Structure 1
Amino acid sequence: MPDKQPLTTTWTQAEAKDDVLSGHMQSDIVRMMLRQFDVYIEANKHQLARTAGLSLNEYKALEFVLELKPLSPGKLAQLLNLSPSGTHALITRLESAGYLLRKPHPRDGRMTSLYPNHERCKRLIASMDEPAHYIIDATAHYNASQLSALYDFLLKSLGHLREDALHRLKRKPT
């Protein structure tokens, strides 16, 4: 793409919404949020899992349980694309290591739900948050109204992504 414009590095206040989210900038935002962030976060997960003495699937399982609690073993299997026996073994390892708790589901006591053991997960959560200082440093250059707009944008974007993910979990895997 010879006419591709470089990513902008400064905040611009455009007259109209179309000017801010036009063409290349909108494509860059989408690419950054849906591909680039994912690639770099995934690379960091490998290191964080290794540091915690966990396999990548164990680490991802804990991330899912921390974010989507309560989470059923079946939904965890669906998210990790594991067989029921593989998921059972993974849950048993995490439970034995003290990271997970199995409890009755809050609305249907016949079902089992997975919860994080927050005391055991404290160090892991702290390591997950280590890259946060880069984001904090990056936001220091913006004023309150710019940060408010960014917050609103991210909140809405993540809301849609979360809604889509939860909708997909409701469907049975093929």
Structure 2
Amino acid sequence: MNGSMWDGRDDLADVITSDLSRRLSTATVLFHHAVAERLGLGPTDHKCLDLLYERGAMTGSELAAITGLTTGAVTGVVARLEKARHLTREPDPRDGRKQILRPVFDASPEIVEVFGSIRDDAAGLVAGFDDHELAAIAEFISRSIDFSYRRVAIMRTEAISRVKEKDHDR
């Protein structure tokens, strides 16, 4: 090793794209399970609420399409989030059979408390990086998000194809 933990660019790139990314993914899943538990939500409910915060109001069908959940599963998620006062439902003005799901941003002081504490603690993660390093980290995270959504779409398409092939073979 040459003064760093890794030997050269190829070694570092391999560690980032395999070991570190996998470990970060696992840690992130466990982290969000703990956040959900702290908020009295299930992990799926928590991430659906997070999608509503990120993307804004949408229908249950749209939420199902984004998450890959069945519309029946989304109905359960919505009922639990509504009961916990994290979202409201209103009729879709374009289609009366559908409902618009709206996150309630000020519903829970507990959410503000939990995420305020996390945000304060996370600020230490970027302390000590210069502007160039922070730009590189932001670019990597942005690319990782795009990569993840792209891989989700590919895997869902593959899964649908497999189901159709099995049905065709019967």
Fold match (TM-score > 0.5)? yes
For the pair 1:30 / 2:17, whether they are aligned, the reply is yes
Judged with a 3 Å threshold, the aligned counterparts in structure 2 of structure 1 residues 57 and 155 are, in CA distance, closer, same or farther, namely closer
1:113 to 92, 100, 104: 100
**2:129 is paired with a residue of what secondary structure?**
coil
Separation (CA, whole Å) in 2 of partners of 1:54 and 1:24: 40
Judged with a 3 Å threshold, the aligned counterparts in structure 2 of structure 1 residues 119 and 26 are, in CA distance, closer, same or farther, namely same
Partner of 1:97: 84
Contact 1:103–1:113 under 8 Å retained in 2: yes
CA RMSD of aligned residues (A): 3.5
Counterparts of residues 74-153 of structure 1 (less than 5 Å) = 74-103=61-90, 109-110=94-95, 111-121=98-108, 123-124=110-111, 126-128=113-115, 130-153=117-140
1:47 maps to amino acid: A
Q: What displacement does 1:120 show?
A: 0.9
TM-score (norm 2): 0.67
2:128 maps to amino acid: H
1:26-73 CA-partner distances (Å, limit 9, x unpaired): 122223664222211211222222221122222222122222333331
**1:118 is paired with a residue of what secondary structure?**
coil
**2:57 is paired with a residue of what secondary structure?**
coil
Unaligned runs of 5+ in 2: 161-170
Contact 1:7–1:28 under 8 Å retained in 2: no
Partner of 1:11: none
2:31 maps to amino acid: N
Judged with a 3 Å threshold, the aligned counterparts in structure 2 of structure 1 residues 87 and 132 are, in CA distance, closer, same or farther, namely same
Q: Which has the higher helix share?
A: 2
State, as a whole percentage, how many aligned pairs show the same letter. 17
Equivalent residue pairs, number: 154
Separation (CA, whole Å) in 2 of partners of 1:73 and 1:148: 36
1:36 maps to amino acid: R
2:94 maps to amino acid: G
Judged with a 3 Å threshold, the aligned counterparts in structure 2 of structure 1 residues 52 and 78 are, in CA distance, closer, same or farther, namely same
Judged with a 3 Å threshold, the aligned counterparts in structure 2 of structure 1 residues 36 and 122 are, in CA distance, closer, same or farther, namely farther
Separation (CA, whole Å) in 1 of partners of 2:112 and 2:23: 22
